[in-house]
Amino acid sequence: MIRREFDRSWVASPPLTALAVLMLVTLGFNLIGLAIDPRIITGDPAWLKPAKFSLSTALYGFTMAFVFRFLPDWPRLRLWTGWVIAVSLTLEIVLIDLQAFRGTTSHFNIGTPGDALIFSVMGASIACLWIASLVVAIALFRQRFDDAAFGWLLRFGLAITVAGAGSGGLMLRPTPDQAASLRAGQPTPTVGAHTVGAPDGGPGYPVMHWSRDHGDLRVPHFVGLHALQALPLLFLVIRRLSRTPSTRTAIALTASAGYAAVVGLLLLQALQGEPLLGKW
């Protein structure tokens, strides 16, 4: 079964399937780094962030290849968006791993001209990824599906994922302290943060390390990004709940709206400086 699914993914998009496999290999090296490298960067093990990003990228690559199976009328779009997504994410992960190897942060780091250049290249690659993903989402809304419920879950799954990815742009805003330094003409090693109301690197929840005491923009970013997996998987449940196409479609649309609302509420909570589970 795994071999059959891999072959179908490869037919749908060789670059995205190759990206996913490469990221699984990268994840293995990052896990080795977690085991043998004791260094801490901004409160987390040096190789934790590369490991999380490589796993997320592998999942995204396989999922987008799956999405491409349902765009039979768009061969040229599948080709160029597949390559843009694969190259952009490969470059992103390479630079994240490079900075971890150097013992420094990858995001928001402008402490040296080299760090600033790396962060700028990462930003450009993610912008290309976002545009390509948006184009695929638009194509999904124009594509006809045999099962309307599944089609809506796939469309809104990718649309919410694109919006969730876009929410990451809010992390680029200077914090009040950074803004004050910039206005005063003083050098600042970082511009932007994912924590709202405190510096990055404070106490966090296990595994994900989202801020335990303050707002964290990574929460809505993460939940939004994985709508592309969560909503299509929900179809397995919906199909068991009802055999009536109109009922399945109504459930699919309601679930999509609910998921989008959750992402919006998590974003509002983070922007207000409130932690995910309230202050302990």
Please report which confidence band the pLDDT of residue 96 belongs to, taking 50, 70 and 90 as the band edges.
very high
Give me the domain span that covers residue 272.
Answer: 145-280
pLDDT, one tens digit per residue, over 148-183 is 999 999 999 999 999 999 998 889 888 888 888 888
Both 151 and 115 in one domain: the answer is: no
Structural domain ending residue among the three candidates 125, 144, 163: 144
Split into its structural domains, the chain has a count of 2
- The Cα 114–Cα 78 span in angstroms is 34
Both 43 and 133 in one domain: the answer is: yes
Structural domain ending residue among the three candidates 91, 112, 144: 144
Looking at residue 220, its pLDDT comes to 95
Both 153 and 140 in one domain: the answer is: no
Both 8 and 123 in one domain: the answer is: yes
Q: What is the arithmetic mean of pLDDT over 134-153?
A: 95
CA angle 47, 53, 55 (to 5 degrees): 100
Structural domain ending residue among the three candidates 94, 124, 144: 144
Percent of the chain with pLDDT over 70: 99
pTM value is: 0.92
159 to each of 59, 71, 228, 234, how far by Cα in Å?
17, 15, 8, 16
Structure-model confidence comparison of residues 154 and 189, the more confident one: 154
Looking at residue 229, its pLDDT comes to 95
Both 108 and 151 in one domain: the answer is: no
Both 212 and 127 in one domain: the answer is: no
Both 95 and 161 in one domain: the answer is: no
Q: Does residue 256 carry a pLDDT above 70?
A: yes
Both 132 and 16 in one domain: the answer is: yes
Both 178 and 86 in one domain: the answer is: no
Q: Which residues contact 156 (CB under 8 A, 6 or more apart)?
A: 227, 231, 253, 256, 259, 260
188 to each of 99, 169, 170, 235, how far by Cα in Å?
18, 19, 19, 48
pLDDT, one tens digit per residue, over 190-245 is 888 889 988 887 888 887 888 888 999 999 999 999 999 999 999 988 888 877 88
pLDDT, one tens digit per residue, over 30-62 is 999 999 999 998 888 999 999 999 999 999 999
Q: Provide the token pair at 79.
A: 């080709």
Both 58 and 138 in one domain: the answer is: yes
Q: Which residues contact 82 (CB under 8 A, 6 or more apart)?
A: 13, 14, 15, 16, 64, 65, 68
pLDDT, one tens digit per residue, over 58-79 is 999 999 999 999 999 899 999 9
Both 108 and 166 in one domain: the answer is: no
Both 156 and 97 in one domain: the answer is: no
